[in-house]
Amino acid sequence: MRQFMSAVALVAIGPAAVFAQGSANVSSTPKLTGYLQPRFQAVGDSATFFLRRARFAVEGNITAWASYRAQVEMRTLGAPATPPASPLSLSATDLWIKMSRHRWGGTVGQFRVPFSLESLLSSTSLETTERSRIVNAAKRDIGMQAEWRPVDQVTLQTAVVNGEGPNRGSNPDNRMAYFARAVLTPLKGLDVGGAFEGYSDSTGIDGQAIYKGKRWTARGEYIQEHNRSTDIYIRGWYLLAGYGAIPRRVQLVGRVQQFDPDDRVGTDRSTGYLLGAQYFVKGDDFKLLADYEAFHEQVTQLKNNRGVLQMQVRW
């Protein structure tokens, strides 16, 4: 294990010596970026207005081959409040330094781990108001990552992280989590790939594909996770398609997803059917999203159909 970790460290940090060669003068002035996502949401018999996300980041270049990003998130729903008495939660998301030169790249800090395709996509570029259930949220952790593109059509990524999730400054079990992802581009606009994740008590595999054309976009993903201590398998998949009904102005979106949280229970699988649309005022920098998703449970039907209207402003 120590030899493996040492090898990964060399892959992630070793190229820094190469990056440093031939650095050009670049602006080191930091930039303030961010976005807001206020929304109205109706689930079953309840409805509410809330701030889905409010994120602010400082980012910039250190040299021609090194950059940084520090982003924090404020939310009014969906996360533990900080402090507990406050209705507002505050947490860090991206806290990393990234190095890149030619076909090599390396990242250290807190970042999105290279596993799920939908998790790696920014919420500002998603076609729907929520990720699929098997993905749920962008998965972040603290550690280091390496990326290599041996040819233009192949991207290889690997990462070693604490395995405790974001904003955790310790690793109580002293065990790491490992990730590997490979993406191929056999045709222009089409990416297909697979990924693996390994924790001390569980493993996961992912199959993924995405296509982007002039007016059509489509992506799909299958994820299976196995908890070795309980011998439970968690499985899920989704298929999504989007069509630019009015180019650069209106996109229609449809998605089918299925989620099974426990393969040993024969009554807990659910399937979701979503229809939605995006209206672009100024691309992803200013847009409106609306979608409605109906869920069908395997046995007992729940009042959990969801309708969402969301605005996004990004700068």
CATH number of 7's domain: 2.40.160.10
Q: How far apart are CA 277 and CA 289, in angstroms?
A: 6
Tokens (6 digits) for 235: 């499985």
pLDDT of residue 14: 47
**Domains contained in the chain, number:** 1
| 14 SS3 class | coil
Calculate Rg over the CA atoms of the chain.
Answer: 20
pLDDT of residue 80: 52
Give every CB contact of residue 276 below 8 A, 6+ residues apart in sequence: 127, 128, 129, 252, 253, 254, 255, 289, 290, 291, 292
| 59 SS3 class | strand
Q: State the residue range of the domain holding 89.
A: 2-314
pLDDT of residue 22: 45
pLDDT of residue 5: 41
| pLDDT string in tens for the chain (315-residue length) | 444 344 444 444 444 444 444 445 778 899 999 999 999 999 988 999 988 999 999 999 999 999 999 999 986 655 554 455 556 678 899 999 999 999 999 999 999 999 999 999 999 999 999 999 999 888 999 999 999 999 999 999 999 999 999 998 889 989 999 999 999 999 999 999 999 999 999 999 999 999 999 999 999 999 999 999 999 999 999 999 999 999 999 999 999 999 999 999 989 999 999 999 999 999 999 999 999 999 999 998 999 999 999 999 999
pTM of the model: 0.87
| 20 SS3 class | coil
Q: How far apart are CA 218 and CA 315, in angstroms?
A: 26
Which residue pairs, CB below 8 angstroms and at least 24 apart, start in 54-61? 55/93, 56/32, 57/32, 57/33, 57/94, 58/30, 58/31, 58/32, 58/33, 59/30, 59/31, 59/33, 60/27, 60/28, 60/29, 60/30, 60/31, 61/26, 61/27, 61/28
